[in-house]
Amino acid sequence: MKPFSAPVSDLGHIDLVLDSTAFHAILQDSFLINQFAVVSQDTTMYSKPSFDIYMLGREAFLHLSLDKEYWKNKAGSAVMIFQTRRPEKYDSLLLAWKQFYKDSLNATSYKGGDFNTGEILPYRKKDTLNPTKPNFTPILMSYSIQGYKNWGFSDSVITYGLSMQEFMRSWDSSSQTKLFHKIKSLHVQITKQEFTEMESALYTMGYTKQGSQFIHEFNPSIYYHITETNVVPKYTKIEIELAESTEERTIQLGDTYEIKVKDTLLVIQQLDKTKQKP
């Protein structure tokens, strides 16, 4: 039987949980907050508050959370989020993912100020005896039709789909003037179970596997390394394509990451602690 195709989707953003030093270093760097992206701060209330930075680019965004309150002891966690171009497609996402993932999937929803989303992610049984550890999670999501209407999108867009550039322009038009163009590639270090979850999600999204990477026609390449134990940070390298060439620079984000900018590429990379001074 021919596999059921998932709705066309984009890797629209990624989430990272950062320690306090890295989180505040981003807010204090003039290049990042003035030239690289549209930067805003927000606090979202779950069972506890989540302190967040949003970095908006031309065709993608970064969602960075502080290792505090809701995300306490979660530094190094990472999420990879694909969103459908057409709204209200979460049922189709669920059916498509089930073809590649034989364990349980969790279908949930999130209500924002003027939108709802349907989100699909691997089900993980809660262990009440042990605290949750940092982890890597793939999420497939779809916005509601009403959300698109609230944002002023036409019936034509709802019917035929919304590109990430249109989505980001609608969020904040000044994102189209920043250097952050789109995510080029992601490098992850994940456990065997996390790999099984990610692999099935990527197959659902139309990726193919070549060696130690997954490739896609228009989404970022995903490189992976499977670890025997739960190692953090989950993202070891994030490559971001810039809209134009810019001055070379290095930005330190505490003792976990550094950012290197050269020509038309910005790379957020895990520091090699074996090379750090004692």
Q: pLDDT tens track of the chain, all 278 residues? A: 556 799 999 999 999 999 999 999 999 999 999 999 999 999 988 889 999 999 999 999 999 999 999 999 999 999 999 999 999 999 999 999 999 999 999 999 988 889 999 999 999 888 767 777 899 999 999 999 999 999 999 999 999 999 999 999 999 999 999 999 999 999 999 999 999 999 999 999 999 999 999 999 999 999 999 999 999 999 999 999 999 999 999 999 999 999 999 999 999 999 986 555 55
**What is the rounded distance in angstroms from the CA atom of residue 46 to the CA atom of residue 69?**
10
**What is the rounded distance in angstroms from the CA atom of residue 156 to the CA atom of residue 57?**
24
Q: Quick one: pLDDT at residue 45? A: 86
Q: Quick one: pLDDT at residue 2? A: 58
Q: Is the peptide bond before 233 cis (omega within 30 degrees of 0)?
A: yes
Q: Are 221 and 215 in contact (CB under 8 A)?
A: yes
pTM of the model: 0.95
**What is the rounded distance in angstroms from the CA atom of residue 220 to the CA atom of residue 10?**
9
Q: Report helix angle 90-98 to 192-204, nearest 10.
A: 120
Q: Quick one: pLDDT at residue 132? A: 77
**What is the rounded distance in angstroms from the CA atom of residue 238 to the CA atom of residue 127?**
31
Outline where the chain has alpha helix (H).
20-27, 30, 90-98, 145-150, 155-160, 164-171, 192-204
Q: Quick one: pLDDT at residue 209? A: 97
Tokens of 250: 């290095």
